Structure 1
Amino acid sequence: MASSERPPTIDPVAATRWERTAPAASPWLHEEVGRRMEERLQWIKRAPPAWADWEPVRGGLEAHALVAQRYPQARSYAVEPQPARAAVAKERLGKPWWKRLAGGGAVEIGPVPAGAVQMLWSNMQLHMAADPEALMRQWQEALAVDGFLMFSCLGPDTLRELRSLYAALGWPAPGHEFTDMHDWGDMLVHGGFAEPVMDMERITLAFDTPERVLRELRELGANLHPKRFAALRGRGWHARLLQELSQHLRGPDGKLTLTFEIIYGHAIKPLPRARVGEHSAVPLSDMRAMLRGGRSRE
Structure 2
Amino acid sequence: MPLSSVDSSRPAVDIRRLQRIFDRRAQTFDAVSFLPREVAQRMRERLECVNLTPTRILDAGCGLGDDLLALQAYFDSAHIYGLDVSHQMLARALAATGAPRLGWRGRLADTLSRKIQFKSPWVRKLAQIFQPRPRQTVQADFAMLPFAASTFDLCWSNLALHWHPRPEHVLLEWQRVLKTGGLLMFSLLGPDSLCELRAAGQRAGAQMPSSQVLDFTDMHDLGDMLVASGFEIPVMEMEKLTITYSSPAALLSDVRRWGAYPFNLAQRPVGLTGRGWHEALMTALEAQRRADGMLSLTFEIIYGHAWKAAARTTAEGYVIVRLDEITKATKQKS
Q: Which category of TM-score, normalised to the shorter sequence, fits these structures? A: 0.7 to 0.9
State the Cα distance separating 1:3 from its structure 2 match.
11
Report SS of the residue matched to 2:153: strand
For the structure 1 residues 81 and 175, does the alpha-carbon distance in structure 2 shift closer, same or farther, using more than 3 Å as the test? closer
State the Cα distance separating 1:133 from its structure 2 match.
1.7
Q: Aligned match of 2:187 in 152, 173, 187? A: 152
Q: Aligned match of 1:39 in 39, 42, 45? A: 45
Q: Aligned match of 1:53 in 54, 59, 65? A: 59
User: Are positions 1:242 and 2:282 aligned together?
Assistant: yes
User: Are positions 1:184 and 2:222 aligned together?
Assistant: yes
Give 1:193's aligned residue.
231
Give 2:167's aligned residue.
132
Report SS of the residue matched to 1:13: coil
User: Are positions 1:107 and 2:111 aligned together?
Assistant: no
Give 1:72's aligned residue.
76
Give yes or no for contact 1:80–1:89 (8 Å, CA) kept in 2.
no
Give yes or no for contact 2:65–2:94 (8 Å, CA) kept in 1.
no
Could you report, residue by residue, the CA deviation over 1:15-48 in whole angstroms, capped at 9, with x for unpaired residues?
A: 6512343122453212211121111111012221
Name whichever of 31-40 and 79-88 sits farther off. Answer: 79-88
> 5+ residue gaps in structure 1?
291-298
The residue type equivalent to 1:153 in the other structure is L
Report SS of the residue matched to 1:252: coil
State the Cα distance separating 1:95 from its structure 2 match.
3.4
Report SS of the residue matched to 2:13: helix
Q: Percent identity?
A: 35
How far, CA to CA, are the matches of 1:3 and 1:268 in structure 2? Answer: 21
How far, CA to CA, are the matches of 2:282 and 2:86 in structure 1? Answer: 33
Give 1:269's aligned residue.
308
Report SS of the residue matched to 2:287: helix
Name whichever of 68-77 and 169-178 sits farther off. Answer: 169-178
Could you report, residue by residue, the CA deviation over 1:186-239 in whole angstroms, capped at 9, with x for unpaired residues?
A: 111111111111010000110111111011111222224635528993223322
How far, CA to CA, are the matches of 2:286 and 2:313 in structure 1? Answer: 59
Name whichever of 109-118 and 183-192 sits farther off. Answer: 109-118
Give yes or no for contact 1:35–1:63 (8 Å, CA) kept in 2.
no
Q: Taking structure 1 as the reference length, what is the TM-score of the superposition?
A: 0.82
Give 2:328's aligned residue.
none
How far, CA to CA, are the matches of 1:4 and 1:41 in structure 2? Answer: 30
How many aligned positions are there? Answer: 278
Name whichever of 80-89 and 153-162 sits farther off. Answer: 80-89
Give yes or no for contact 2:204–2:284 (8 Å, CA) kept in 1.
no
State the Cα distance separating 1:4 from its structure 2 match.
10
Could you report, residue by residue, the CA deviation over 1:265-285 in whole angstroms, capped at 9, with x for unpaired residues?
A: 10111111226xxxx7159xx
Give 1:7's aligned residue.
8
Report SS of the residue matched to 1:258: strand
State the Cα distance separating 1:146 from its structure 2 match.
0.5
State the Cα distance separating 1:247 from its structure 2 match.
2.0
Give 2:327's aligned residue.
none
Q: Aligned match of 2:203 in 163, 168, 182? A: 168
Give 1:254's aligned residue.
293
Name whichever of 250-259 and 87-96 sits farther off. Answer: 87-96
Give yes or no for contact 1:160–1:258 (8 Å, CA) kept in 2.
yes
Report SS of the residue matched to 1:188: helix
How far, CA to CA, are the matches of 1:168 and 1:253 in structure 2? Answer: 22
Give yes or no for contact 2:249–2:282 (8 Å, CA) kept in 1.
yes
Give 1:19's aligned residue.
19
Report SS of the residue matched to 2:48: helix
Could you report, residue by residue, the CA deviation over 1:121-178 in whole angstroms, capped at 9, with x for unpaired residues?
A: 0111111111112211221122111100000001111122222232234311241321
For the structure 1 residues 243 and 232, does the alpha-carbon distance in structure 2 shift closer, same or farther, using more than 3 Å as the test? closer
Larger Rg computed on CA atoms: 2
Q: Taking structure 2 as the reference length, what is the TM-score of the superposition?
A: 0.73
The residue type equivalent to 2:165 in the other structure is A
For the structure 1 residues 199 and 5, does the alpha-carbon distance in structure 2 shift closer, same or farther, using more than 3 Å as the test? closer
State the Cα distance separating 1:66 from its structure 2 match.
2.0
Q: Aligned match of 1:229 in 269, 276, 280? A: 269
How far, CA to CA, are the matches of 1:258 and 1:69 in structure 2? Answer: 32
- After superposition, the CA RMSD in angstroms is 3.2
Give 2:113's aligned residue.
none
For the structure 1 residues 273 and 79, does the alpha-carbon distance in structure 2 shift closer, same or farther, using more than 3 Å as the test? same
Give yes or no for contact 1:75–1:103 (8 Å, CA) kept in 2.
no
Give yes or no for contact 1:15–1:128 (8 Å, CA) kept in 2.
no
State the Cα distance separating 1:11 from its structure 2 match.
3.1
Could you report, residue by residue, the CA deviation over 1:50-86 in whole angstroms, capped at 9, with x for unpaired residues?
A: 21101211xx632332222111111111113443333
